[in-house]
Amino acid sequence: GAGVSQTPSNKVTEKGKYVELRCDPISGHTALYWYRQSLGQGPEFLIYFQGTGAADDSGLPNDRFFAVRPEGSVSTLKIQRTERGDSAVYLCASSLGTSADTQYFGPGTRLTVL
Amino acid sequence: KQEVTQIPAALSVPEGENLVLNCSFTDSAIYNLQWFRQDPGKGLTSLLLIQSSQREQTSGRLNASLDKSSGRSTLYIAASQPGDSATYLCASGNSGNTPLVFGKGTRLSVIA
């Protein structure tokens, strides 16, 4: 079956613009995670959904970042007033239910803020 | 707060050599420990998942061990091949439903 997919694969934007990043999890996976990976670093947690609700959003760096998962499947990560420091690879992962299960990662979206 | 450390940051070995990658974590109250592979410009591929009640997991030439009391995990790769060249990341799944905490990874190069 299909794995986790993310669109776009690359996004270049200008400072101050708004961007949306999309994640399509594996069908049937109720848990969905967003991570951010900077060059030479491991992924850092942003937000975790269980179904439609955000179970843990403690990793969001500030209120410019927001994510939704309205129907419990596809999720969108939204970044307002982008800054150069937001440049990174944004990774999405899904799992069957909890963090105790294997997480399956998408290929990521590389965001570049000029 | 859980912290995960991976040593070494980079490793270069000749083809055919057996090697060990190290991962340490500060909080032993983990649910599981997961090892991933990441190729340049790609996402993460799960290699092995060790539950907290287990001591090791094996898949092909890969063997991962977990010692919760000492806060350590190792990934053993037997008979390394050039195709094993990638960055290897370990991540702890902590108690409850908290997400994974990653190390910075070990960049492995296997020279033919």
pLDDT digits (tens, 9 = 90+) for B65-93: 999 999 999 999 999 999 999 999 999 98
Structure tokens at B4: 């995960």
Give the minimum alpha-carbon distance from A25 to chain B in angstroms, rounded to a whole number. Answer: 14
Measured between beta carbons, the chain A residues lying within 8 angstroms of B5 are none
Rounded Cα distance between A19 and A110, Å, is: 12
Instruction: Say if residue B98's pLDDT is above 90.
Output: no
Assess A41–B contact: CB distance below 8 Å, yes or no.
yes
Residue A48 CB: number of other CB atoms within 10 A? 26
Q: Mean pLDDT over residues B18-38, rounded?
A: 93
Interchain proximity B34–A103, CB inside 8 Å: yes
Which residues from chain A sit within 8 angstroms of residue B34, using beta carbons?
A: 102-103
pLDDT per residue as tens digits for the range A38-94: 998 999 999 999 999 988 899 999 999 999 999 999 999 999 999 999 999 999 999
Both tokens of residue B88? 């290897």
Reduce the DSSP state of residue B104 to 3 states and report it: coil
Q: Which residues of B touch A5 (CB under 8 A)?
A: none
CB contact under 8 A, B31 and A99: yes
